[in-house]
Structure 1
Amino acid sequence: MRFGLVWAEAFSGLRRNASMVISVVLVTFVSLTFVGAAILMQMQIGTMRAFWQDRAQVQIYMCATESTERTCTSGAATEEQIQQVHDKLDSPALRPLIKEVRYQTSEEAYQELVDILGEDEASFLTPEQVNATFWVRLVDPSESDAIVEAFSGSEGIEEVKDQLQLLDPLFSALTVATYIAVGIAALMLIAAVLLIATTIRLSAFARRREISIMRLVGASNRFIQTPFILEGVFAALIGAVLASAAVLAGVRFGVEGYLRSRVSFVTTWVGLADAAIVVPILLGIGCVLAALSAGFAIRRWLRA
């Protein structure tokens, strides 16, 4: 196969269909940018979930003097009730699940509240009105239900709270956003595939006389198809490169330059190393889809 002639034919087709090629580039760029954003969002969700799972704890709030739960009818938790919680956490049934237990007295919890709010804001409370709390860190945070079930409804315990469950709405919202990005990307990719196929068919129609002559002189279908496939791949590759640049720029300036310094409660963000993993995926998707759609379009033309 004469590669020089094949490349010359491909670039000739690109020049003849410049407006359609620009359309393919733009649609591919937008669609693959959404694909890259969806992949990075899923990476971010996984990173955040792993970070918080390792640090999430189960909080066992003991009854305080102002507690109104039915398990707190006797007022603040007694020393005996607190010791029962200690013993239960250290029992053979629960101990294997637990990595660490920290007990915070009412006085310690009150002082922590003063440090956070200031003395003026915390002055309306007394140490007796603040819950003594057990902070339980698990070996496997997904087994927190065992701790919640073991202590919920027990006398002297006002509430058992799983911190990881508080983060579930955030993870769910981010997951929904990822699905939306994937849906938009899928629609845009379908549009890109159809546009590439249309571009190749128009290019083949414009060169129908040349194709007929090549078939008459014995040119193989592969020789005829290759320039058209290269046209689609080249246009899609430009779009994929632009999408890769947009993803890298978004991570560099949007995440590392803006969000990392302004959203302090999230300490683990995707970075350029993660974006670098996404780039070859985008290039591969763009080239493969373009080659398949262009090959299918010109193959149908040659059969006609």
Structure 2
Amino acid sequence: MKLGFIVGEVLSALRRNVSMVVSVVLVTFVSLVFVGSAALLQMQVNGMKDYWYDRVQVAVFLCPEGSPVQTCAGGEATEEQKAAIEEALQGDDLAPYVEEVIFEDKATAFRLYNEQFEGTSLEGAVAEDQMQESFRVRLVDAEQYEILDEYFSATEGVEDVVDQHELLDQIFAVLNVLTMVAIAVAVLMLVCAVLLISTTIRLSAFSRRRETGIMRLVGASNAFIQMPFVLEGVIASGVGAVLASVALGAVVYFGVDGWLQDRAPSFDLVGLGDVALVAPALVVLGIVLAGVASLVTLRRYMKV
């Protein structure tokens, strides 16, 4: 009987406060969409870091014709200089730091360049003899790039030593900023959702103050009186959380898996499996926030 009474009270309250309940659902939906988006974006950033940092290399660029660098005063790197540089890279001094060395000649650099910019205006913009030869070095510890930079800083035939981590760090820094912006917006929207839930519960309690007073007089406990109000906020917030999860799944399925993945096949993008990990957390977060907000509001403002 008690359960039936509580269910009836909750359904009655939801019917009476349709506009406020819809507002709670929508605000919760929007806020949790931002929370889920921030979580998925951070998962994408972490996945990209793991993928690219394992494959990143240090490029030892050899002198091209006409380079103004002092170590290239003799012109384009000679075969003897190339052999000396390769011997140094594979020698005992650098053996503790170097994992793999690959020589990239002009033909290989030209092919990779055209593959990278295939279908764009840059494809074929540079002739093969204009490409720069280099040694691609994979380090045992990618953070020890400075050792190679210092080792070849004054070596004849070496124009520059470039660490690809620097380029990746700039990209990931931008992505991390976007994640922080999404988190900030999500927190702001969650605050709005909590305030709206509190306001809804206060109005609902005020409109039924006579009923709750009678229930108190006949010996109903505080938990029994407050339960319908708490469930009202939890249900509205739970519906918003479920809708947010469905929306994220649709965006990932149609936007990421369906559209973006076809245009960036070399990237391992977030998928429905990641959404399945995030969705339960969103539902729990929505329910917990609504429950806590409802209880705090009732204890503070509900006088029966």
The answer to whether TM tops 0.5 is yes
Identify the residue that residue 68 of structure 2 maps to in structure 1.
68
Quickly say closer, same or farther: Cα 1:24–1:88, change in 2 above 3 A.
same
| Deviation of the 1:75 alpha carbon | 1.5
Quickly say closer, same or farther: Cα 1:67–1:28, change in 2 above 3 A.
same
- Tell me which moved more, 181-190 or 89-98: 89-98
Aligned to 1:95, the other structure's residue is in SS state: coil
Quickly say closer, same or farther: Cα 1:140–1:302, change in 2 above 3 A.
same
| Percent identity of equivalent pairs | 48
| Deviation of the 1:121 alpha carbon | 5.0
Take 2:205 and 2:157, find their aligned partners in 1: how far apart are those partners? Answer: 81
1:8-23 equivalence runs, <5 A:
8-23=8-23
Q: Which amino acid counterpart does residue 54 of structure 1 have in structure 2?
A: D
Aligned to 2:302, the other structure's residue is in SS state: helix
| Deviation of the 1:238 alpha carbon | 0.5
1:142-291 equivalence runs, <5 A:
142-264=143-265, 266-291=266-291
Tell me the TM-score normalised to structure 1 length: 0.90
What are structure 2's unaligned runs of at least 5 residues?
none
Tell me the TM-score normalised to structure 2 length: 0.90
1:84-105 CA distance string (max 9 Å, x none): 3223323444323322111234
Identify the residue that residue 295 of structure 1 maps to in structure 2.
295
1:264-294 CA distance string (max 9 Å, x none): 4x42100110111010011011000000000
Take 1:303 and 1:111, find their aligned partners in 2: how far apart are those partners? Answer: 77
Quickly say closer, same or farther: Cα 1:93–1:3, change in 2 above 3 A.
farther
Aligned to 1:96, the other structure's residue is in SS state: coil
CA contact under 8 A between 2:90 and 2:101: conserved in structure 1?
no
Q: Number of paired residues?
A: 300
Take 2:107 and 2:200, find their aligned partners in 1: how far apart are those partners? Answer: 74
Take 1:110 and 1:270, find their aligned partners in 2: how far apart are those partners? Answer: 32
- Tell me which moved more, 72-81 or 185-194: 72-81
1:7-156 equivalence runs, <5 A:
7-106=7-106, 109=109, 122-123=126-127, 126=129, 130-156=131-157
Quickly say closer, same or farther: Cα 1:249–1:75, change in 2 above 3 A.
same
RMSD, matched Cα? 2.4
Q: Which amino acid counterpart does residue 86 of structure 2 have in structure 1?
A: H
Take 2:287 and 2:114, find their aligned partners in 1: how far apart are those partners? Answer: 60
1:208-234 CA distance string (max 9 Å, x none): 001111111111111111111100000
Quickly say closer, same or farther: Cα 1:140–1:36, change in 2 above 3 A.
same
What are structure 1's unaligned runs of at least 5 residues?
none
CA contact under 8 A between 2:205 and 2:302: conserved in structure 1?
no
| Deviation of the 1:132 alpha carbon | 2.6
Quickly say closer, same or farther: Cα 1:191–1:108, change in 2 above 3 A.
closer
Quickly say closer, same or farther: Cα 1:294–1:162, change in 2 above 3 A.
same
Take 2:180 and 2:123, find their aligned partners in 1: how far apart are those partners? Answer: 46
| Deviation of the 1:57 alpha carbon | 0.9
Take 2:216 and 2:154, find their aligned partners in 1: how far apart are those partners? Answer: 84
CA contact under 8 A between 1:225 and 1:299: conserved in structure 2?
no
Aligned to 1:19, the other structure's residue is in SS state: helix
Take 1:56 and 1:45, find their aligned partners in 2: how far apart are those partners? Answer: 15
Take 1:219 and 1:72, find their aligned partners in 2: how far apart are those partners? Answer: 90
1:183-221 CA distance string (max 9 Å, x none): 111110000000000000000000000111111111111
Take 2:74 and 2:181, find their aligned partners in 1: how far apart are those partners? Answer: 51
Take 2:249 and 2:146, find their aligned partners in 1: how far apart are those partners? Answer: 40
Aligned to 2:135, the other structure's residue is in SS state: strand
| Deviation of the 1:110 alpha carbon | 5.7
1:248-269 CA distance string (max 9 Å, x none): 00100010111111234x4210
Quickly say closer, same or farther: Cα 1:47–1:193, change in 2 above 3 A.
same
| Deviation of the 1:113 alpha carbon | 6.1
Take 2:107 and 2:135, find their aligned partners in 1: how far apart are those partners? Answer: 14
Take 1:202 and 1:105, find their aligned partners in 2: how far apart are those partners? Answer: 75
CA contact under 8 A between 2:72 and 2:159: conserved in structure 1?
yes
